[in-house]
Structure 1
Amino acid sequence: MKLTRLRTTVVLTAAVSLGLAGCAQSDRESTSSGTTGSGSSGTAAAEGGSDTFTFGAAGAPEVFDPYYASDGETFRITRQIFQGLLGIKPGTADAQPELAESWEPSDDGLTWTFKLRQGVKFTDGEAFNAAAVCYNFERMFEQNEVAQAGPAEYWAYTMLGFKGGETESLYKSCEAKDDATAVITLNRYTSDFPVMLTLESFSMQSPKALKDGDANNVQKEGEGFKYPAYASAPVGTGPYKLEKYDEANKTITLVRNDDFWGEKAKTANIVFKIIPDESTRRQELEAGSINAYDLPNPADWKGLEDAGNQVLVRPAFNILYMGLNPEKNAKLQDVRVRKALYMALNRDQLVATQLPEGAKVATQFMPDTVAGYNTGLEATKYDVEGAKALLKEAGAEGMTLQFAYPSEVSRPYMPDPQKIWDALSADLEAIGVKVEAVTKPWNGGYLDGVDNGLFDAWLLGWTGDYNSANNFIGTFFGADSNDFHTWSTDFGKTLSKELDETNGIVDEGERTTAYEALNQKIMEDYLPGLPISHSPPALVVGKGVEGLTASPLTAEMFDTVTVSKS
């Protein structure tokens, strides 16, 4: 499975209009914790605050049905409307109960029994129960060919196959034992289950609304897709519901769900104002026309704070890496060459000069909060002379390396791609490597170039979808999603096999130990790519905003936010 679209910030492939005519049916002193003030109990309007929280969004939503979405700007909105069986503990990447109060696996890890929260209703008045859970899973499983090859991307990525498809799905069946008990059976074990259910794409949606809106009727239209009626009138169980998407004014308005089963949202309305340019978002924050926006330029953090705003720094749940393609450049098939390139990179200096405060040099391909992280691994030391000696030993002195970087993009793990490339390429040239520069726009050939193996080396990264070792190293090097072009190499085939075997270990302690050993093997024996760093991305909130907790998954909830009137 190629993850090109899952890496993008905003993906606008839908050819259908999502406009709605009306209501839808239905490490700093104040910022190091990534949390604003705790807010108050009760609603903001009742206490003299504003009844609206306005967020400056970088792009328009792809579609309002989270099952067919794959981009962060869409999920930022749908997260407020929908809930899943599992949620995410605020401020962490850890799973916690949401619509399921508890879950229990069978001894072989193939059958999972979910005890469901009772008294929950969808915003169209329909009851949430085990039958609704099973309807949702069967709906996700039974997709037409257009959806399977296109927007049902996260299901394909996690479950691997669909009903009647050539690839066997991880998902086998769902049974409603009673209203409060749903049993999901898998065809084979994976360590990603059930934590994958924290993904927005697995949100529970009203079966009645899905049926009435012909929700699975996705059609191809030009370069994009034509979505059914339901895609513009979604129905969930969350603290907010969709009121209107005003395409002319580029705003999406959510209103509080007053029948929400839990604590009611503290602010009556959320408005997402689409402002593609980051500098314009900053200007609108300073003018008070928005209350927050994501991914402020690290160079602006101090100025934003000095102006009285709060920069909420998220824990780093990402990795920046230099990919290597041994299928294109035969020199890279020698592990001594790969190790020499790694030794040449002055990553301490890079982190200190090019990345935001709190960034760290990586020792492996996952952050330290993921089970399976090997705490015994030390960062590869910067050693110019040692790198030269290894290249000579491998017969690769004076080798040429086509090294690519993206333009027209800033990523949480890579704020300024060209400056990072400049620093790393200078390091490589210092050991005698002849670097050939290649650059393409992020969505204008760069990601396609990576996927199609057009470059010897490239800069890319990953922000984890959920807290699982397989979501990192399995995504990079597994047989189903190998983005490092090592399929034809002996070490690549071996690594893919080892990853599959480790992911299939049911016992958690045994599996964690196996992942730790595998991380050591990846770094010391295989080194299929070069992990560079972990960077903490941030979001900024304006004066008077309280109650917002930053998420390492960028999965912030806004129902706890209050805004005081200026």
Structure 2
Amino acid sequence: MDASTTARGLGRAAVVAIALALTVTGCSSGGSGSTGDAAKTVSPVQDAEDVNAQPLDKVKDGGEVRFPLQQWITQWNPYQVDGTYGDAVEIMGYVEAKIFRTDAKGVYHPVPEYLTSAEVTSSSPQVVTYKINPKAKWSDGKPISYEDFKAVWQSTNGKAAGYNIADPSGYEQISSVEKGADDQEVKVTFSSPYADWQKLFSPLLPASLLSGADVFNSGLVEKVPVFGGPLKIGSMDKSAQTITLVRNPDWWGTPAKLDKITYRVMDTPAITQAYLNNEVDDAPAGNATAYGQLKDAKDTTIRTGTPWDEVHISFGGNGALADQAVRQALGRAIDRDALIKVVNQGVPVEFKKLDNHLYMINQSGYQNNSGDWAAFSPDAAKQLLDKAGWKEASPGQPRTKDGQSLELHFVVSDGSPQQQLDMVSAVQNMLQQVGVKLDIDKVSSKEYFTKYIDQGKFDLASWRNTGSFPLSQTVAIFREPEGDNVFGNYSKLSTPEIDSLLKKASSTLDRAEADKLYNQADAKIWELGHTVELYQRPSILAVRKGLANYGAGSLADTDITKVGWEK
């Protein structure tokens, strides 16, 4: 279950929306096709980048890089609820105004091509003043100005009807966005403090693409009409399932090294072979089958890192699972250590168990809040089911209540490799031991999210959340839905207490106090039976030798202008 989709390499750290892995894939090969267990001999980098860092004078001018894409991108607006697919968010950071980048330790830095400065100029109330580079402009010739910041805020703060937003966090705390000394100075005033203000407005979009709910929701469907980054979209060929990026001829900064980036949509199992056929220049190597085939491939390096990247099993909130005690019972019935062993076979990097929904193991503030809620105990699971009124049946038969059998469905992508299916089969067996019948429903990989996860049509499902840094990025995953808008909370499970703790934490400027609040919320998320965390997924990537300034890392963003081929 080392789902290897979503944004590639380092580009996930500061995306505006939660970047989701939209196809679930496996982490290793257990059962049939297993390559056996590999010694855990590789330690991925923690606070560094495994990217073959090279100065620009060592990188060729020109050339092409070819990347796999795991699904066709329909919605390009990263602020819209359907625009949070990781690859789409990353690409928009290349073609629009990504005003901040993080380094390998997650520290934000203004991108000088867009901002000459950005700082808190008042603390009560909190005011942030941005000074825009006077050279910065959109492809339609309009200068980047305070109007673009204002349009992002007004369309994303949740106050205007009809805007299907991904996450109002941060924007709903803003009371005004105003012109400063001139059009290139922006004063953003917050009604309550917001600690992670640097993650807002990035990528910045032109006001013309956000003017009205219809434009916000559909103006970036299948097209990106206005650009503001070092690259622009050169072509979208839906029949060939390819998207190309080329240099933006109106870019005012240092030109990108590459002439072109080509993305091609392909099913997860096909990526390894495409790499071996020299059709793409990187490929996930996080499962045994892929690693075994790629580690000794010609002209290949394996790059590893520890980004914000978690793998979990989510529970739905319908039917029998509307009862918190039943969800808690599933948490006690699932042996996480055993599942991690299944998926970690054949890969030389240890997949470390994750006991926190909000922090990664290598983040400051991480602590184990799982308590007993994820401690494997079939007896405890049976007791919880008994108390919930699900009566034991004859051996091998599911429990019953009010004439109904306790039968659940685990939704998986039909593109899942064997190790993913082995993991799901192991869950099926574990639940059977406590009287729960688990059906495994294979669905189209192209519809896995759009028709099932996004709609909450699952009892159990597994995917990755990536790039949820800074911590306020995680709020959307657990916040209470509003009407049809679930934000990132596809289980639709929440409590006012969790909502309150997460919002208070994101408004707390004292880091130690914020950590305390986030961890209090995490303990409540475990108790809710929302999600069973499995492990922090290391980045294990096969990369064509000679590709510079690109690969695997911790919390850093990719500077796409520096990516290219060594001289």
**TM-score for the superposition, normalised by structure 2:** 0.72
Partner of 1:345: 334
Structure 1 position 182 matched with structure 2 position 186: yes
CA drift of 1:306 comes to 0.8
Report Cα offsets for 1:201-245 as digits up to 9, x if no partner.
xx254x7xx4xxx7747859xxx946599x544321x33344444
CA drift of 1:300 comes to 0.7
Shift in CA distance, 470/120, structure 1 to aligned 2, threshold 3 Å: same
Partner of 2:281: 291
Partner of 2:378: 384
Shift in CA distance, 535/127, structure 1 to aligned 2, threshold 3 Å: same
Do the aligned residues in 2 keep the contact of 1:453 with 1:485 (CA within 8 Å)?
yes
Written as runs of structure 1 = structure 2, the 5 A alignment for 1:46-65 is 51-62=63-74
Counterpart of 2:148 in structure 1: which amino acid?
N
Give the SS at the match of 2:562: coil
Structure 1 position 78 matched with structure 2 position 111: no
Aligned-residue CA RMSD in angstroms?
4.3
Written as runs of structure 1 = structure 2, the 5 A alignment for 1:125-164 is 132-141=144-153, 153-154=165-166, 157-158=168-169
Written as runs of structure 1 = structure 2, the 5 A alignment for 1:253-332 is 253-256=244-247, 263-265=254-256, 267-293=257-283, 298-308=288-298, 309-325=300-316, 328-329=319-320, 332=323
CA drift of 1:263 comes to 4.8
Match for residue 402 of structure 1 among 401, 407, 418: 407
Written as runs of structure 1 = structure 2, the 5 A alignment for 1:395-544 is 396=390, 398=392, 399=399, 401-408=406-413, 417-441=420-444, 444=447, 448=451, 455=458, 457-472=459-474, 475-478=477-480, 480=482, 481=486, 482-486=489-493, 492-523=495-526, 525-544=527-546
Do the aligned residues in 2 keep the contact of 1:486 with 1:493 (CA within 8 Å)?
no
CA drift of 1:353 comes to 1.4
Shift in CA distance, 183/497, structure 1 to aligned 2, threshold 3 Å: same
Aligned residues: 503
Give the SS at the match of 2:57: coil
- Distance in 2 (alpha carbons) for counterparts of 1:546 and 1:30: 21
Counterpart of 1:341 in structure 2: which amino acid?
L
Unaligned 5+ runs, structure 1: 11-26, 161-167
CA drift of 1:188 comes to 4.1
Unaligned 5+ runs, structure 2: 1-15, 24-39, 393-398, 400-404
Match for residue 365 of structure 1 among 357, 371, 382: 357
- Distance in 1 (alpha carbons) for counterparts of 2:498 and 2:92: 37
Shift in CA distance, 71/495, structure 1 to aligned 2, threshold 3 Å: closer
Do the aligned residues in 2 keep the contact of 1:547 with 1:561 (CA within 8 Å)?
yes
Report Cα offsets for 1:8-33 as digits up to 9, x if no partner.
639xxxxxxxxxxxxxxxx8769756
Shift in CA distance, 542/370, structure 1 to aligned 2, threshold 3 Å: same
- Distance in 2 (alpha carbons) for counterparts of 1:74 and 1:102: 26
Counterpart of 2:187 in structure 1: which amino acid?
V
Do the aligned residues in 2 keep the contact of 1:550 with 1:556 (CA within 8 Å)?
no
- Distance in 2 (alpha carbons) for counterparts of 1:7 and 1:169: 25
- Distance in 1 (alpha carbons) for counterparts of 2:162 and 2:57: 43
**TM-score for the superposition, normalised by structure 1:** 0.73
CA drift of 1:404 comes to 2.6
Partner of 1:22: none
Shift in CA distance, 404/533, structure 1 to aligned 2, threshold 3 Å: farther
Do the aligned residues in 2 keep the contact of 1:79 with 1:557 (CA within 8 Å)?
no
CA drift of 1:448 comes to 4.9
Give the SS at the match of 1:420: helix
Partner of 1:163: none
Partner of 2:177: 173
Shift in CA distance, 125/409, structure 1 to aligned 2, threshold 3 Å: same
CA drift of 1:518 comes to 3.0
- Distance in 1 (alpha carbons) for counterparts of 2:251 and 2:501: 45
- Distance in 2 (alpha carbons) for counterparts of 1:192 and 1:401: 43
Structure 1 position 121 matched with structure 2 position 136: yes
- Distance in 2 (alpha carbons) for counterparts of 1:373 and 1:106: 30
Counterpart of 1:458 in structure 2: which amino acid?
L
CA drift of 1:365 comes to 1.3
Partner of 2:110: 97
Share of identical aligned residues, percent? 17
- Distance in 2 (alpha carbons) for counterparts of 1:242 and 1:289: 20
Counterpart of 1:111 in structure 2: which amino acid?
V
